[in-house]
Amino acid sequence: QVQLQESGPGLVKPSGTLSLSCVVSGDSITSNYWWTWIRQPPGKGLEWIGELFHNGRSNYSPSLKSRVTMSVDKAKNQFSLKLTSLTAADTAVYYCARLNDSLAGYYDYWGQGTLVTVSS
Amino acid sequence: QSVLTQPPSVSGAPGQRVTISCTGSSSNIGAGYDVHWYQQLPGTAPKLLIYVNSNRPSGVSDRLSGSKSGTSASLAITGLQAEDEADYYCQSYDSSLSGWVFGGGTKLTVL
């Protein structure tokens, strides 16, 4: 059974940097999937942040591209998200997920999500 | 404003059938990109319900079905049960945005 688990600080300051990790178990980070970050502001809908492949290829949301960096740690079987220049609008539950089919593009496994609050 | 438009809410009595629409455009659903549906119960992560327009993952009830036509897709739930009360999201790809997009979500209330 594939499982994903997010981790990282729950509170970050405005103008700071958010750093989250997602550990994958039950599958290898080097398998033929894209690994994804998705967020959900409180009471709102889902927003795609970006995705990366184990070889370092990545795709980011145009609206966040200037502030996002994703990376893979094969040794730890995990991938990470960095989001800079934070504002209150970045407060959200952040999910990591596996993109099952790069053409059809659906998410079959999700982490439980981690709430990140941007506040001083 | 979401690229994929869903009604904010739908409701139905137990046993009834409800449908949730997902309206896109020529740069996403209308361009032939597949549509997928997720259910999100309060405080939990989304769960895949329908993939590639009309396919159900193992373990998902056959009371749920999906369809796609033109620039729209829909999710139908028959034999409505209290446990179906949740938020539902559609998802596809948008070529203008060069990325994956979600609908704004629909809250299903079982009366």
Q: What's the confidence (pLDDT) of residue A28?
A: 95
Q: Do B102 and A61 touch (CB under 8 A)?
A: no
Mean pLDDT computed over B54-80 = 97
- Please say if the pLDDT value at position A102 is more than 80: no
Mean pLDDT for chain A overall: 96
* pLDDT at res. B56: 97
Alpha carbons A70 and A87: distance in angstroms, whole number = 19
pLDDT tens per residue, range B83-93: 999 999 999 99
Residue A101, pLDDT > 90, answer: no
Whether the CB-CB separation of B100 and A48 falls below 8 Å is answered with: yes
pLDDT at A117: 98
CA gap A42, A6 in Å, rounded: 18
Tell me which chain A residue has its CA closest to the CA of residue B49. A108
Q: Which residues on chain A place their C-beta less than 8 Å from a C-beta of chain B?
A: 36, 45-48, 50-51, 59-62, 95, 100-101, 104-108, 110-113
**B-chain residues near A100 (CB < 8 A):** 51
* Percentage of the residues of chain A whose pLDDT score is greater than 90: 95
Instruction: Give the separation between CA A74 and CA B60, rounded to whole angstroms.
Output: 33
For testing contact with chain A, the best of B51, B100, B101, B106 (most A CBs within 10 A): B100
> Å from A111 to nearest chain B CA?
7
pLDDT at A116 over 80: yes
Q: Is the pLDDT of residue B64 over 90?
A: yes
Contact A62 B45 (CB under 8 A): no
**Closest CB from B36, B48, B99 relative to A59:** B99
Give me the mean pLDDT over the B13-42 stretch: 97
CA A62 to chain centre: 15
Cβ separation of A48 and B102 shorter than 8 Å?
A: yes
Give residue-wise pLDDT tens across range A69-84. 999 999 999 999 999 9
Q: Mean pLDDT across the stretch A25-47?
A: 96
User: Sorting pLDDT into bands at 50, 70 and 90, what band is A20?
Assistant: very high
**pLDDT above 80 (res A106):** yes
CB contact under 8 A, B33 and A95: no
Is A37 a residue whose pLDDT tops 90?
yes
Contacts of A46 in chain B (CB under 8 A): 38, 46, 89, 91, 102, 105
Which tokens in the block code for residue A117?
A: 């609050």
* pLDDT value, residue B1: 80
Mean pLDDT (chain B) is 97
What confidence score (pLDDT) does residue A103 get? 77
In terms of Cα–Cα distance, which of A26, A31, A32, A20 is closest to A4?
A: A26
- Cβ-Cβ contacts under 8 Å between A and B: the total is 65
What is the rounded distance in angstroms from the CA atom of residue A92 to the CA atom of residue B39? 18
